[in-house]
């Protein structure tokens, strides 16, 4: 009975201490949590002009994760410790993909920001990787993705050629040959599938880009009156 009493008196106290995350995106397109226990250090690092940019960003990247936050360690964050662990595990297993290129999301807080907005405000913020973010900034996503699709298509064609080449050898050889060339064959099939997946992701990303960012661009140019049927 003593145990029961203890947990009862602990719970309301714990609820009181829950720390809500508060996110913003800085000039470098990094998601920052203002409730992070090391926020002062993050602010200092990002304001240091004389520190080489590379060193600065590496230092910040190291802290810009819930795992470097006291609220995670004391389990007082809006996100329970187990949930953060689970999300991190999923992120490292490449569960979260960039909406534009399908690549993995490297920054933990980018994922937390997206999940928080969805849970709390029912707002879906697209996950976008650092490379695509910089492509958005200098307006080079369409050109770069076209180049990448071309390279991937060449790589895919080569993989298919190798699949046919080794496939023929495997079929024509004895049992040992089938085993030996079968492994090589599997490798090239794997590469071909990987290329196709990336190409599909990029095509979807381009479609999404044109749908969402294309409108904003047309607006910039002042053509929006023609683009909106309800105007
Ligand atoms: Zn947190
Ligand atoms: Zn991307």
Same domain, 125 and 162: no
Give yes or no: residues 130 and 107 share one domain. yes
Q: 112 and 24: one domain?
A: yes
Question: 73 and 16, same structural domain?
Answer: yes
ipTM value, please give it: 0.79
72: CB partners within 8 A, 6+ apart: 66, 79, 81, 84
How far apart are the CA of 111 and the centre of ligand 1, in A?
12
Whether residue 121 is found in the same domain as residue 214: no
User: Same structural domain for residues 98 and 24?
Assistant: yes
Q: Is the pLDDT of residue 6 over 70?
A: no
Residue with tokens 């990336």: 198
Within a domain: 210: yes
Residues with Cβ < 8 Å from 158, sequence gap 6 or more?
none
Percent of the chain's residues with pLDDT above 90: 37
Q: Is residue 121 a part of any domain in this protein?
A: yes
> Is residue 5 assigned to a domain?
no
In a domain, 4, yes or no: no
Please state, as a whole number, how many other Cβ atoms lie within 10 Å of the Cβ of residue 210. Answer: 13
The verdict on 72 and 170 lying in the same domain is no
Of 107, 134, 161, which residue sits at a domain end?
A: 134
Query: Nearest to residue 36, comparing CAs of 23, 18, 55?
Result: 23
What confidence category does residue 2 fall into, taking pLDDT thresholds of 50, 70 and 90?
very low
Residue 60, classified by CB atoms within 10 Å of its CB into exposed (0-12), middle (13-18) or buried (19+), is buried
208 within 8 A of 141, measured Cβ to Cβ: no
The verdict on 150 and 203 lying in the same domain is yes
Let me know: does 19 contact 71? Beta carbons within 8 Å: yes
- Which residue is it, tokens 């695509």? 132
Q: Residue 58 C-alpha to ligand 1 middle, in angstroms? A: 20
Ligand 1: distance of its center to the CA of 181 in Å? 51
Indicate if 129 and 183 belong to the same structural domain: no
> What are 37-89's pLDDT values in tens digits?
999 988 888 777 666 677 777 888 888 999 999 999 999 999 999 999 999 99
Nearest ligand to the CA atom of 72: 1
How far is the centre of ligand 1, averaged over its atoms, from the C-alpha of 120 (Å)? 14
From the CA of 131, the nearest ligand is 2
User: 192 is in which domain, residue-wise?
Assistant: 139-227
CA atoms within 13 A on the CB side of 108: 21
Which DSSP category does 64 fall into?
Answer: S
> How many Å lie between the centroid of ligand 2 and the Cα of residue 130?
7
The phi and psi torsions of 5 (rounded to 5 degrees) equal -60, -40
Among 114, 134, 154, the domain boundary falls at 134
Q: Measured in angstroms, how far is the CA atom of residue 107 from the centroid of ligand 2?
A: 12
The end-to-end CA distance of the chain, in Å, is 69
Q: Ligand 1 centroid vs 131 CA: distance in angstroms?
A: 25
Total of domains in the chain: 2
Q: Which residues surround ligand 2, an ion (CB under 5 A)?
A: 98, 100-101, 103, 129, 132
H helices present in 18-80, as ranges:
39-47, 53-63, 70-73
Phi, psi for 79 (deg, rounded to 5):
-85, 115
Cα(27)–Cα(187) distance, rounded to whole angstroms? 42
Per-residue model confidence as pLDDT tens digits over 114-142: 999 888 888 888 898 888 888 888 889 99
Q: Cα of 128 to ligand 2 centre, how many Å?
A: 5
> Using an 8 Å Cβ cutoff, are 129 and 38 in contact?
no
* Single residue among 134, 154, 187 that ends a domain in this structure: 134
């Amino acid at each position: 009975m003593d145990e029961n009493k203890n947990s009862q008196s602990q719970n309301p106290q714990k609820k009181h201490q829950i720390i809500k995350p508060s996110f913003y995106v800085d000039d470098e397109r990094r998601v920052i949590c203002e409730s992070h226990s090391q926020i002062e250090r993050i602010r200092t690092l990002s304001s240091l002009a004389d520190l080489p940019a590379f060193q600065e960003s590496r230092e910040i990247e190291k802290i810009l994760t819930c795992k470097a936050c006291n609220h995670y360690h004391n389990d007082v964050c809006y996100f329970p410790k187990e949930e953060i662990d689970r999300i991190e595990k999923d992120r490292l297993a490449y569960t979260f993909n960039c909406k534009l290129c399908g690549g993995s999301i490297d920054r933990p807080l980018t994922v937390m920001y997206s999940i928080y907005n969805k849970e709390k405000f029912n707002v879906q913020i697209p996950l976008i990787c650092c490379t695509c973010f910089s492509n958005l900034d200098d307006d080079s996503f369409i050109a770069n993705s076209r180049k990448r699709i071309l390279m991937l298509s060449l790589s895919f064609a080569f993989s298919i050629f190798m699949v046919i080449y080794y496939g023929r050898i495997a079929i024509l050889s004895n049992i040992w040959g089938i085993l030996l060339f079968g492994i090589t064959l599997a490798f090239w099939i794997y590469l071909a599938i990987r290329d196709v997946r990336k190409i599909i992701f990029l095509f979807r990303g381009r479609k999404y880009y044109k749908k969402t960012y294309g409108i904003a661009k047309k607006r910039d140019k002042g053509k929006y009156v023609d683009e909106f049927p309800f105007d």
